[in-house]
Structure 1
C-alpha cells in the first residue's frame, strides 16, 4: 500500500522526530572579527567546528542558512575508519554506535540463472576483509539528523553553538594581514517546507534583507554540492568544479517495511534482469521502535527498458509511489509492504571534483593576499553517487584533516604555508581517487559500462556479476577508509633514512618498520595501561581533542637490551636541542580547564608525582611501550628514562606475541611490537589524525628532529619546561 509521509511536529523550536535533541542555535552575530568562519552546519562543518571547539582557544563562527538541523533523510552510512575517528572523540563514537544499525554482511542478488523472472542470491560476504585490521568490521546506518545532533551536543560541551539562520553571500580578500577575508552575510527567514511535482520535500529559505559584514582569518566552505563559497572562488579566482553526469536516475527512500525478503537487515545489492537495480541499507529504529531501511532504487528502467527522458529532466516528476513500484519490480518475487515512508528524494548521478581545496595566493582589487585563508571541505569539493557510502565519511575526514592543521598553525607551532598546503595535496588526491572509484562503481551498479572502461562491454553476464563483486572487494580499503593513504610529503616520510638523513648502522634499529608505513593510518593494537592495568586500544589513548598534538609511540622492546638506546634518547629529549623544548604553543593553549587539556587523559590523571604524570610538552605525547608482562615491571625500573615515564604501557595483551609461560600476562608478550614490525624497538611518530608520520630507530634522534623541523617552527613563548624531568634524582619516587 502507498503510505503517507510521516508528519513532523515542532516543540519549543525543536524537531522531535526520533531523538533529534540538540541545543538551541544562536541567532545574533555579536562580533565582527573571528579566527575561523564555517559556512554550513552539515557533517563537514560540524566536524570542523566540534574539533576546533575541542582544541580550544579559537574564536569560531558557524553559520547555516537553515533555521534547524536536518530532520530526515540525506546521508546515513558511517564507515569503519570514520567510526575509528569518532571513537577518538568520545562520547561521540559510542553514542553513534549505540544508536545505529550495524551491518556486518553484504549480499549480492542477480537475475535467476534459469532465465525465469525474479532474483536469487549469488553471494554473501562479510562487510570487509578480516585482514584489514579494522576495529569495528561493519558499516553503521544512522540518519544524518541524528549525527548532526550528536555533533551539536559535543560542540555545546566545549562552548560552541551554531548561529542560524544566516546565509553566506560573498567574500573578498583585503589587505588586513591578520584577518584578510571580509565576508557578507544575510539573515534568513525560517525554513518553509513544500514539495516538488513528484512529492519530494523542498525547503524554501527566503532572505530578510538584513546584512552583516565580518572579517576572519580563515573562511571554510562546508556548504554542500551547490556551495556558494566555492561559487565565489570559481567566479573570481579561477577555481573549477569539473566532472560529468551519468544519465541514470535513482531515488533514495527511507521506509519501514514488512517483507519476506530475507536480507532486509543486511546490506543487499540487487540487480534485476529488466527493471534496474536496488540497494538496501539497514538503518536505526524510528520512534515506534520499527526498523527503518534506506532503499536506493533505480527508477528509469521501470518499464523494462531505459527511459529516453534525460535524468535531469525526469527527477522532479518521480513520486514515492513510483519508487515503491520499482522496488516491487526489481525485488520480485519478494513482497514489500510499505508501512511508512520517512523521506524520499530523486537524483541523477554525477561525479565532480573541485580543482583546489584551498585558495592559493593571488590578488583581488589590487590587493595581494597570501594562500590558504579560504578552504573547502565535504561536498563543496566533491559530488558523487551515495551508494558506496563515501560522501559524508569523506566530508568528515576532510574536516578532521583541516581542523588539526589550523589548530597547530594558530597555536603558533607550525609553519603556516607549509602545513596548510598539505591539506589540499592530501585531500584533493583522495577526492580524485573517490571520483575515479565512484565513476566505475556507480556505472556498474546501474547496469552501465564505465566510460573509461569500454572493454567491459565484452564481458558476458556471469563475468559482469563477478566483476562487480570484485570491484567492491578490491576497493574495500578505500570504501572503509582504512586503506586511504597519503604519499610522501613533509608530513609523511615513507623512507626515513633517505628523507630524514637517519644513520644506517647494522646494529641499530634505524630501519623503518616494514609493517607500518608513513602516510597510512596507524594499525590498531592492544596494550596494558600500566598505571591501572587496563587493556586499551593504544590508538584511542590520546583523543582528538586539546591540545591536538603528535603521538610518539616509543616501542622499547626488551629493556635489558635497549636501555642504552633509551637512555640516549632520554638525554636528547631533556636537552635544549630537543623538539620538546623547541616547539611550544602560544597563549591560545592556556585557556583550557586543565592547562593544555579540557580533560586530562586517564593515563596522566593518576595521582602520581609530576615526574610520572606531567608531560614536558603536551603537544608531543610520549608513550613508552615495554615488551614485558605487566606483573614483571616496576616504576623504578624506568626511573632513569625522564620524559618517557609519564605514559607507560606493557605489551602483554595483543595477540601474536611470544608465549613465555602459563602465568597471567605471559600468554602473549610482544604482540604489538610484532604487529608493528618493531621487535627490536623503534619510535612511531603519529600525526594528530592518526596517520603515521615516520618510523625511526630508538637512537635516531636526528631523524626525529628533522621530521618536525620540516613543518614546525620554534618559539620562545609558551615554554613549559618542567625541571623534574631534568633531574633524575628528584624524579624518582
Structure 2
C-alpha cells in the first residue's frame, strides 16, 4: 500500500525553483528577473526539494480515499450546532448536529458563482470522547468556544491591500511560468505565479495571486473590504497583463477565482483546559480542540496555511493515539498540543504579517526599521523572508520549546550537560543514510518507521564500535530487558492489536524479512529500537549482535552517510561513521525521537535512568507494573 503522498506527487506540478522579478532600472516600463534560487535550501535536506502545486479539492480527495482504505468514512452533510461537556467519564462531549440539504448555486454582484446549502431542521446528538474543530477560518466550533468558553480569535494585524487568486490556463512568453515567480512592478502592484496540476483536459494550470488595488497605476483609496465584491476575473486578468509587461499573457480559460483582503488572526486556545463548569463540577480538560484555519488565518500566497493545518492535525493525532492506546497520561500529553502548536501559529502569523506587507510593497507595521533599507536591501530581505517560508510549509524549520517532550537542557533528566551539540531536542531529526543490514539496502533512516506504524517512539541507538562499547551496550540491553525498563512497563491496551499485523496496518519492510530468533520481532512496537553500528556492512555479522536482545530486530551499518572515515578501498569502507559524526555521537549514544519525527532527548549509551525519566514524564504504566528506577 503506497503512502498517501505518492498520489499527490504524481498528480501535482513540482517547482524546484523560485524566481524574483522587479521593475526595469530607470524609467522604462516593464519587469526584469533579478534572482533565481532553489525552491528549498540544500541545508534543509528535503528529500524532494520542490514545492508541489495541487488544488485543495484533490488533496482532500486523496485523504478521503486513504481513509476508506483503512475502513473509515466521512459522514456528510451535517452542520455543527453546539457542544456541551458532561460528567460522563467515557464520552464527556455531547455534540448537536443538523442535517443539511443539497447545494444551491447563485451568483454574487460581480457575476461569480456562489454556493450555499440550507438546513433541513433534522438534528442529531452524538456523544464522543473528543471534538476537533478543523472547520476553517469561520469555524462554528471556535465560535461556540468564543461564546461559551472565553476563547478569543484575536486580530494580529491587517494589510489594507486587496488580492485576487485566479486559477487559469495561459499561453505566454513569460519564461518562468512553470516556476514559482514573485513579481513586483513599478506602479501596477505585485503578482505571484504558482504552477499547478493539469486540468481534466491535460492543460497546465497556474495560480496567479494578483494585487488588484493598483489597477489604475496607483493604490486605490477604497477600503479593501469594500472593494472585494466589485472585482471581476476580467479585471484581474488585465492587472496580470499590466504587472507582467512586456510579457504577454493570453488567457485560455479560468478554473477558479476569488478576491480577498489580507488579515492575520490567531485563537488564544487550541484546546480547552480543565475548568469548573457552570454547575460547579470539574470539567475535563483537553477534550475539545481546534486545528488548522480554525486556529489561524492569514494570506494564502505562501502555501503555509494547509500545510501548517495538516501538521496541526498530525500533532494532535499522535497524542490522542497514545492516550487512547493506554500509554500516555491524558492531561500531561494533550496539554502540550496547545503549548507547541500555538507558539508555532504565532510564529506563522508574525511571518505572514511581514511577508504580506513586503509582497504588497508595504513596510511591516511591526518592523518600521525596514523603511531605512535601500531598495536593493529591501529586495534582498524579501528573498530571505520568502525562503524562510519553507520552514512552515514543510515543518522542517519548526522548533518547539522545552517541555515534558523536549529537553535541550538535560538537567531534568539527571544529566549535567548535553551529550551533543549537533542534534537539537524540539527540532526535526536530521536526515541520515545507513545500510539496512538484513537486505544490504541503503535507506534514509527517517523513513524506516513510517507514521502509519503504531504511532510510537523511535530510539536510534548509535552503537559506535561494537568491541569498544561492549560493556555499555551489554548494560543497556540488560536494563531494557529488566522489568524497570520503559519497554516492559509501558504496554498498550488491546486497541493496539486490532489490525491485520497486530499494531501495524502493513508490516514494515525492515521487519518483513523472514528472519527468526528475534531478528525481525520488536519487543514493544511502540518503541522502535534501531541499532546503528559504526562499521562497514561487510565487516560484521548478525551473530555479532545476536546477544543484544531488543536491539537486534532493526540493525543498520553506518557506512553510506557522507562525511565518514575512509578506512579502505573495499565496498562499504568509503565513508564509515558518517551518521555518528553528523549527529555528534562518534562514541555512541541514544537519540529519542517522538512519533512526529522531532528529537525529544539525546543521552549516552549508559544513561538508562535519563531515558526512564524522559518517558515517565508523560507516559503511564499498566496497573501492577514495576515502578521506574
Normalization by structure 1: what TM-score? 0.83
State which of 56, 71, 74 in structure 2 corresponds to 1:144. 56
CA contact (8 A) 1:585 1:718 kept: no
Between 197-206 and 476-485, the greater mean CA deviation after superposition: 476-485
Instruction: Check conservation: 1:587, 1:718, Cα contact below 8 A.
Output: no
Distance in 2 between the 1:589 and 1:190 partners?
39
- Using a 3 Å threshold, how does the CA distance of structure 1 residues 519 and 315 change in structure 2: closer, same or farther? same
* C-alpha separation in 1, matches of 2:113 and 2:365: 32
The correspondence of residues 61-460 of structure 1 with structure 2, limited to 5 A, is: 90-243=2-155, 244-366=157-279, 367-460=281-374
The 1-side partners of 2:130 and 2:385 are apart by: 39
Q: In 2, Cα distance between the equivalents of 1:363 and 1:687?
A: 32
1:573 to 480, 497, 501: 480
Q: Which residue of 2 aligns with 1:520?
A: 427
| Alpha-carbon distance in 2 for matches of 1:407, 1:482 | 23
Cα 1:606/1:716, change in 2 over 3 Å: farther
Distance 2:509 2:40 in 1: 32
| Residue 463 (str. 1) matches residue 377 (str. 2) | yes
Paired residues, number:
624
C-alpha distance 482-165 of structure 1, shift in aligned 2 (>3 A) = same
Q: Per the alignment, in what secondary structure is the counterpart of residue 510 of structure 2?
A: coil
Superposed displacement of residue 481, structure 1: 2.5
Against the structure 1 CA distance between its residues 610 and 636, is the aligned structure 2 distance closer, same or farther, given a 3 Å change threshold?
closer
Structure 2 residues not aligned, in runs of 5+ = none
Unaligned 5+ segments in structure 1 are 1-88, 505-509, 720-733
Note if contact 2:15-2:178 (Cα within 8 Å) is conserved in structure 1.
yes
CA contact (8 A) 2:307 2:392 kept: no
Mapping for residues 313-712 of structure 1, pairs under 5 Å = 313-366=226-279, 367-474=281-388, 476-496=390-410, 498-502=411-415, 511-712=418-619
* Deviation of 1:718 (Å): 11
2:542 & 2:518 partners in 1: Cα distance? 11
Deviation at 1:467, TM superposition (A): 2.4
SS in 2 for 1:559: coil
**Of 155-164 and 131-140, the range deviating more from structure 2:** 131-140
CA contact (8 A) 2:307 2:393 kept: no
Q: Which moved more, 1:391-400 or 1:310-319?
A: 310-319
Change (3 A) 1:563 1:540: same
Cα deviation for residue 90 of structure 1 reads 4.4
Question: Higher relative CO (CA 8 A, sep ≥ 6), structure 1 or 2?
Answer: 1
The answer to whether the 8 A contact 1:565-1:698 is kept is yes
Measured after TM superposition, the shift of residue 525 of structure 1 is 1.0
For 1:163 and 1:180, the matched residues in 2 are separated by 21
How far residue 511 of structure 1 moved from its aligned partner, in angstroms, is 4.5
Mean CA deviation greater in 189-198 or 179-188: 189-198
Q: Deviations over 1:103-141 (max 9, x none)?
A: 111111111112211111111111122122222211111
- In structure 2, the CA distance between the partners of 1:582 and 1:548, relative to structure 1 (3 Å rule), is same
1:713 correspondence with 2:620: yes
Note if contact 2:408-2:418 (Cα within 8 Å) is conserved in structure 1. Answer: no
Greater shift in the superposed pair: 372-381 or 654-663: 654-663
1:478, distance to aligned residue in structure 2 (A): 4.1
Whole-angstrom distance in 2 between the partners of 1:570 and 1:199 = 71
- Is the 2:304–2:389 contact (alpha carbons within 8 Å) kept by the matching residues of 1? no
